[in-house]
Amino acid sequence: MADSQAYDAPSVVKERQKRARMRRNIFYIALLAVGLVAPFLAYPVFLMKILCFALFACAFNLLLGYAGLLSFGHAAFLATGGYVTGYLLASYPGLTPEMGIIGGTLMATLLGVLFGVLSIRRQGIYFAMVTLALAQLMFFVFVQSSFTGGEDGLHGVPRGDLFGVINLSSNLAMYYFVLAVFIFGFAVIQRTVHSPFGQVLKAIRENEPRAVSLGYNVDAYKLLAFVLSAALAGLAGSTKTVVFQLASLTDAHWHMSGEVILMTLLGGVGTLLGPLMGAGIVVSLQHILAQSPLGNWVSVILGIIFVLCVLSFRSGIVGELDKMYRKNFK
């Protein structure tokens, strides 16, 4: 047989992986540098909005891109994180912002467990429907509850002092904190994707019956992916509340669940940087269009972009760039 020739696969594989890792690290360092100087070039609040939504989209992408599950109810986690953090910080002045954020994230995680247990056995469109229904239920809860301020939402949430030391009322300090939160969330996702768990998740997405026949309890793996995604979406919501000092029903509305799908698909589902790109584009477009005479047409324009994206470049911007890179430089 042909395989008798001297062939040392592991070292070849390792060498290639090492080079790929190095290239990736250089790229991330460059990206980090951009993140560090950005607030001197653009309005920090605008950048923070992008980062919060980017984290939200990254969390969503972990579920859709790496576990193959399309949730249509992720707004519930964003909103839960936001409301709980807002409520904690507004009602307990002694709490520092990071405590509020941890509280909000934990609540979103718990909700993720509940949603996941109820929905994870369903496949495809049924899974999307169950998550949508549950998220609508949460919307109703937020409208009716007193702690959320109902239709008015929560306002005037104090930013406070981070760890009781760093005052966050300056936008620059706030920005660097948000950047750190984003990097943390991004690192968690990056590690999850490249972990033993990530390997099994990939196998399940590639061929679920085969993964079952290898002895994996696929529902348990999907559930963990769902809960991680919910937790990070909650983290995004919590952080956003501290930045804007408010939490409102907009975050809980199903529009928000749709918007995160748009961001992820536009940027590139299943790519690590796609959601960041997608969130950047969508938030910028909303920002620019809101100030132009086309202000009322925001959803129409986003809708057209969405249709174009699905029709002509399905793997999203980062996905297409990645394909081009592979074609021309490998």
Partner 1 sequence: MRADDVLNGPVLETRGLTKEFRGFTAVDNVNLSVQEGHIHALIGPNGAGKTTFFNLLTKFLPPTRGEIIYRGKPITSKKSNEIAQLGLVRSFQISAVFAHMTALENVRVALQRQLGTSFHFWKSEKTLDHLNERALELLEEVGLREYADTLTVEMPYGRKRALEVATTLALDPTMMLLDEPTQGMGAEDVDRIVALIKRVSKGRTVLMVEHNLSVVSRLCDRITVLARGAVLAEGDYDEVSRNPLVREAYMGSDAAEEEAAV
For residue 305, give the DSSP letter.
H
Beta bridge partners, 166, equal 162
Q: Which of 7, 151, 311, 330 binds partner 1 (CB under 8 A)?
A: 7
Q: Which of 247, 302, 310, 318 is nearest to 58 (CA)?
A: 318
Instruction: Show the tokens assigned to 125.
Output: 């469109």
Q: Which of residues 201-240 bind partner 1 (CB under 8 A)?
A: 202-203, 206-207, 209-218, 220-221, 224, 228
**Per CB under 8 A, 151 contacts partner 1:** no
- The least CB distance from residue 48 to partner 1, in Å, is 27
Residues 159-198 that bind partner 1 (CB under 8 A): 191-192, 194-198
Backbone angles phi, psi at 292, to 5 degrees: -95, 170
CA proximity to 188, closest of 276, 304, 272, 83? 272
Our CB check for partner 1 shows the closer of 91 and 199 to be: 199
Binding map of partner 1 across residues 303-322, x = CB under 8 A, - = no contact: --------------------
By CB under 8 A, is residue 6 in contact with partner 1? no
DSSP string covering 73-125: -THHHHHHHHHHHHHHHHH-TTS-HHHHHHHHHHHHHHHHHHHHHHHTTS-HH
CB 35 to partner 1: min, Å:
24
> Whole-number minimum distance, CB 319 to partner 1, in Å?
13
Give how far the C-alpha of residue 63 lies from the chain's centroid of Cα atoms, to the nearest Å.
9
Residues forming contacts to partner 1 in the complex (CB under 8 A) are 1-3, 5, 7, 9-10, 12-13, 16, 191-192, 194-200, 202-203, 206-207, 209-218, 220-221, 224, 228
